[in-house]
Amino acid sequence: MALIGYVEETDFTAYAAARGITLAKAEAVTLTLALDYIEAQTYKGTKTDEAQVLAFPRDGSTEIPQGIKNAQMEAALIYDRGEDPLSDVGQRVTQETVFGAVSVSYSDTGNQATIYRKLNAMLAPYLASGGYGSSNFTVSHG
28-39 pLDDT, tens per residue? 999 999 999 999
Q: Residue 52's CB: how many other CB atoms inside 10 A? A: 11
For the chain, percent of residues with pLDDT exceeding 70: 73
Q: Residue 35's CB: how many other CB atoms inside 10 A? A: 19
38-97 pLDDT, tens per residue? 999 999 999 999 999 999 999 999 999 999 999 999 999 999 999 999 887 665 555 555
Q: For residue 95, what pLDDT is reported?
A: 55
CA-CA distance, 76 to 96, in Å (whole number)? 31
Whole-prediction pTM value?
0.78
Average pLDDT, the chain: 85
Q: For residue 65, what pLDDT is reported?
A: 98
Burial of 12 (0-12, 13-18, 19+ CB in 10 A): buried
Q: Which of 57-71, 93-107, 117-131 has the lowest mean pLDDT?
A: 93-107
Does residue 35 contact residue 4 with C-beta atoms inside 8 Å? Answer: yes
